[in-house]
Amino acid sequence: MSGGLLVAGTTSDAGKSVVTAGICRWLVRQGVKVAPFKAQNMSLNSFVTREGAEIGRAQAMQAQACRVEPTAQMNPVLLKPGGEQSSQVVLLGKPVGEMSARGYHGGRQQRLLGTVLDCLAELRGTYDAVICEGAGSPAEINLRRTDIVNMGIARGAGFPVLVVGDIDRGGVFASFFGTVALLAPEDQALVAGFLVNKFRGDVSLLEPGLDMLHGLTGRRTYGVLPFRHGLGIDEEDGLRVSLRGTVRESVVAPPVGEDVLRVAVCAVPLMSNFTDVDALAAEPGVVVRFVDRPEELADADLVIVPGTRGTVRALEWLRERGLADAIARRVAEGRPVLGICGGFQLLGEHIEDDVESRAGHVDGLGLLPVRVRFAREKTLTRPVGEALGEHVEGYEIHHGVADVTGGDPFLDGCRVGQTWGTHWHGSLESDGFRRAFLREVAAAAGRRFVPAPDTSFAALREEQLDRLGDLIEHHADTYALWRLIESGAPQGLPFIPPGAPA
């Protein structure tokens, strides 16, 4: 096999990331050497590769589905929103500056097409197949001229395109037809067909519609994937997380001890790497929810202030909403609080920021003996260490440099009583450390909670990826998919008017 495929979607959140991961895992189980690729990703959830490059977490998970190490070539352009109008541009794993949406789409994006095609060519020279993920919809007619992630990459590489639609939202037939009908003839020629995602019910009731869709477009449907709970991989966009009431899915198994443990995560603006709490939600008896009101901290056994792309903005938000005072009261009462990355920084005494917010000197919450200065160069590392007598691995992504002046050492940060702070993302994925930390939290909270002795977060991730592979293997036409990846889009696909506007 030698080829590739672009997985596009009728909308954002149609299921492109999980379908891409599922196809990757299915191919790997067939003995195919495969790699994921997303030319351009907009995400506040990112990861650090072994060579110190920053890429989207979804692509890191897709690399895990392929059973290969993630590299910068798998996500050459990463956009990290810093507000409604601008993003940090990360190119080949390193930040190259801030840019407005108008400036990026006004010329910079198109100039990156050569770079992303070079990365794709490098992957194609190394792997048997490359499964690409698009972004948003390929029919964004206002952005097609500068597109480097959907039809731009498909046309540049000559890859066939599979369009995924989320039928759970309704309107999937109109979305499939409209997506094709708004593409130029050259782009339509690459759209091989469709994949229905999140179907509930009897597939035989859907089949007449699929036949009609084939008659209207000349394109077949390659599979109908049933709705399954808990199959999402690391979300791309923290901006789309509900600011209140969102609960991370937890293992169904009952708690080992007599009590559950309640974790409240402050849903700060520009929240980044909120996937840090997934390892907690994987523990039987741990309930994780996102909150934005001070009264919601009252019954929490642990409060987490997560990472953010806007530390000073998050600090102001906590104060405006009364959460800062509620956190300070918790600390005074000796109740557990954990700050991660930006959340660690704002727990400190003061922040000197002439880089991210350009606010200059800002007083922090003063809950940890830490002073933070923002540096222009971003720290991107994969640290390894020990805490609470356990081995810990993590990754760091931050401009803030912390000067720790007191407290007890904790993962290159510090601890004072039951207030903890670290720049390390992903530390809670280390099973022994996570269990030790939860025991400390339970003791401080007076809960008779006992961590499960055998929860392996890495094994749960592997099981999740295998379930995605099973979805493709059992509910998609894998023979047709194989031919598509190997031979490209079928010849003679009809043009569906009106096509893209001039």
Average pLDDT score over the chain: 91
pLDDT reported for residue 232? 63
- Sign of torsion over alpha carbons 33, 34, 35, 39: positive
Q: What is the DSSP letter of 108?
A: I
pLDDT reported for residue 1? 53
pLDDT reported for residue 249? 52
For 340, phi and psi rounded to 5 degrees? Answer: -120, 125
Strands (E), 1-145: 3-9, 34-37, 40-42, 46-48, 54-56, 77-81, 86-91, 94-100, 129-133
Of the candidates 88, 180, 99, the residue with the CA atom closest to the CA atom of residue 139: 180
pLDDT tens by residue, 215-263: 999 999 999 999 987 666 655 544 333 333 445 555 557 888 889 999 9
How far apart are alpha carbons 450 and 263 in whole angstroms?
A: 15
Beta bridge mates, 195: 164
pLDDT reported for residue 322? 96
pLDDT tens by residue, 253-297: 788 888 999 999 999 999 999 889 999 999 999 999 999 999 999
CA distance readout (Å), 318 to 110, 266, 287, 360, 416: 39, 8, 22, 19, 21
pLDDT tens by residue, 323-372: 999 999 999 999 999 999 999 999 999 999 998 888 899 999 999 999 99
Residues designated as active site: 341, 425
- For the chain, report the end-to-end CA distance as a whole number of angstroms: 37
pTM for the whole thing? 0.91
Of the candidates 122, 99, 109, the residue with the CA atom closest to the CA atom of residue 152: 109
